[in-house]
Amino acid sequence: MHQYPIPLEKMPYDVKTYDTPLLDYSTPPKNEPGSWSINSDMAVIDLSHPWGNDQPTWPAGAQPWTTPVQYMAKFNRRTQLLHDFPQHVSTHYDAPAHVCQESPFTDEVPLEKFMAPAVIWHVPCTPMQTITPEMLQEANKKVPMKPGDYTLIITGWHRLYSDSDRYFLWSPGLSEAAGEWLVEQGSSGFGIDCQALDHPCASYMAQHGPGPLVPRVLDCYQMFYPGHDAKADHPKWEPVHEVFLKRNIPAWENVGGDVDKVLNKRCVVCAYPTRWHKGDGAIVRMVAFIDKNDVNKDVPTRTYKYGTY
């Protein structure tokens, strides 16, 4: 069941005006973005996957679809028409309105929330592994976070980014307890290099909400965790979405691009959504600003063999 920001018995409903009662989706002060500074001599690292036609897409989603209406050979100009423009594809932001009733839309979230100091944690995972607070605590020992930092968790799944079971169904995912641990530490934003903020078995790919959308995800879970019951191990529907979005803490899915260049580093990250009126999320261009001498050496710039993956 949806977790409202106040106890159900205190939810206002006996209203004498035509104004919708406002619910509290405010961010705790310690989870507001920390101070940051950048200069023109810093390296700018792209942490985004590309998007476009034939885009790897979450099983319930649509793909972007573009066609040229003017092209060079005939018009000496190129103009493209965008027929479909789903926002929950590629590297993207989830607004509170995506999962929380009567909460802010994309264009209502302050711009200040989309740039902050960040830690880029390497948290290697196996297929369908649940990321625990203990795993994050180990990462924190190597690159300590401060209150007000973004925390980007890199499992290695960004290297598998494709239209495949291996990327979407076999994905690791954060546990609710790990999400709450990040909030308690003062995280001002959370991103992960996986298909969603939550584990696949905590989504409606499995037995949640209108699911199972992709019943074979349960077979995959049995393959990797024989004898385990997916619903027992992941009893709630997208609890990690709730952890961050009910507090209006920005959260991003499918972090990728050249993130290996800043693995286990501190940097400044910005990831601005478009100003989509009443949007519930948005594709972003996530970038990291870091001292040129601190970039991980001998990491090649990523190329996408098929354009979008």
Instruction: Please name each of the domains of the chain with its CATH number.
Output: 30-51+88-293 (3.50.30.50)
9 pLDDT band, cuts 50/70/90, is confident
The per-residue pLDDT for 96 is 96
Name the percent of the chain lying above pLDDT 70.
Answer: 96
Q: Which of 283, 241, 282 is nearest to 105 (CA)?
A: 282
The pair of structure tokens assigned to 249 is: 């803490």
Dihedral sign, CA of 37, 107, 102, 19?
positive
62 pLDDT band, cuts 50/70/90, is confident
pLDDT at position 275 over 70: yes
In Å, how far are 23, 111, 187 from 48, measured between CA atoms? 33, 19, 21
How far is the C-alpha of 240 from the C-alpha of 178, rounded, in Å?
Answer: 9
**Full-model pTM:** 0.94
